[in-house]
Amino acid sequence: MAIKIFYDKCTLCKRCIDQCPFGAIEIKEGKLHINESCTLCGLCVKVCPEAALEKKEEQVFKADLTRYKDIWFFAETRDGKLSHVALEMLNASLKLKKKLGEKVAGVLLGSNVKELAGELGKRGADKVYVVEDVALEHFQEEPYAMAMAQLITKYMPNIVLAGATMMGRAFVPSVAAKIRTGLTADCTDIDIDGETKLLIQTRPTFGGNLMARIVCKNHRPQMATIRPKIFEEAAVLNPDGPPQLIVEPFLKEGFQNRVQILGKEKVENIVDLQEAEVIVSGGRGIKDPKNFALIKELADLLGGTVGASRAAVDAGWIPYPHQVGQTGKTVKPKIYIACGISGAIQHLAGMQTSDYIIAINKDPDAPIFRVANLGIVGDVFEVVPELIKKIKGM
């Protein structure tokens, strides 16, 4: 959209200049000029007595949507194995397949990853695209983005999904930019619109206070990254049925990787909330950082991991890797115990799909009780020590 000036009609009466609330119109070298302050409000068009200004709609580019078929997911690998999130993205794709009727295809990038295609086939993938190259042996944003973009450009999928992991968040936006399409990041749900057949991508916005539903009408593929643990892992559906395998080379002509890996070092004691089966989390109700020792004691007795709300992390009581919620980790343990956590929507977005939720809070009206399977109205400093005593005595 833009404001067009018909200079042959303009008399430089300055009425548009006087009326513009943003000071976006001026006279330069004897001609009317609209600068970057213009908000396209159109007030200048309405007040011009000579109709010398016109608000013009720019032509919207629309791809030929009929050429795009299939639902793709990035099959993330770690240490030569399929990651849990790869199987979650497969399951998400299979759910879309039921409504679209299109085939599901996984994308494997790396070195010596072809043998993993069979596992994806067993769990429901119709096809698997494989790009193997020494440049893809270790994850790096630039080569992965180029390899993925090459595949999409050649085969033109309708939908492309990836996990909102460190890897997915790093390179998938670059892919979207290369192929000139949109990307909705950190989705908490996806679905297909029954009428338009468009991908509905749902994600938190405005600090998690609202949920936005986003569609990509004019460009393809429709791309989204989805938070881990939103979907279950795809189950084994066809133990003997291998998928159609499509192996493509990595075309490196004109490509120059600006990053060089000098070495790798394994970091121990990393908090892996997303793999934990039991999480005991503390919030503002813990009152003091030293009281997280109580949370840790309960977590250790249950063979679990310590989590935290954003309030506890922002207060400096516990490091960020422990944070559960919209701006932290999305988790799905078998048991989630929330201690002194009120249950703001940002926190609920990260843990409400847990198998069994136990909430401990003094406030009987705390929002956390709305999602809890078991709610204990009481003081954390009375309830948790009692729980610890009971467990030790078992």
Amino acid residing at 278: V
Residues 37 and 116 in one domain: no
Residues 183 and 293 in one domain: no
Return left, alpha or beta for 29; rule: phi > 0 is left, psi -120 to 50 is alpha, else beta.
left
Residues 20 and 95 in one domain: no
CB distance 206 to 199 below 8 Å? no
pTM of the model: 0.69
Assigned domain for 383 exists: yes
Q: What is the pLDDT along the chain (394 residues), one digit of tens a residue?
A: 688 899 999 999 999 999 898 889 999 988 999 988 888 888 999 999 999 999 876 555 566 788 899 999 999 998 889 999 999 999 999 999 999 999 999 999 999 899 999 999 999 999 999 999 988 988 989 999 999 999 999 999 999 999 998 899 999 999 999 999 999 998 989 999 988 999 999 987 766 567 889 999 989 999 999 988 889 899 988 776 788 999 999 988 777 778 888 877 766 556 778 888 999 999 999 999 999 999 999 999 999 999 999 999 999 999 988 999 877 888 889 999 999 999 988 898 888 889 999 999 999 999 999 999 999 999 999 999 999 998 987 6
Residue 230's H or E segment, with its range, is none
What are the structure tokens assigned to 375, written together?
A: 């709610």
Number of domains making up the chain: 3
Residues 304 and 243 in one domain: no
CB distance 351 to 331 below 8 Å? yes
Assigned domain for 339 exists: yes
Residues 48 and 190 in one domain: no
Assigned domain for 313 exists: yes
pLDDT of residue 65: 80
Residues 110 and 216 in one domain: yes
Residues 177 and 221 in one domain: yes
Domain holding 48, by residue range, is: 2-56
Residues 130 and 157 in one domain: yes
The residues near 81 (Cβ < 8 Å, ≥ 6 apart) are 116
Assigned domain for 301 exists: yes
Residues 219 and 352 in one domain: no
Residues 208 and 74 in one domain: yes
CATH number reported for the structural domain that contains residue 364 in this entry: 3.40.50.1220
The residues near 114 (Cβ < 8 Å, ≥ 6 apart) are 108, 130, 132, 245, 247
Residues 234 and 102 in one domain: yes
Assigned domain for 260 exists: no
Residues 223 and 82 in one domain: yes
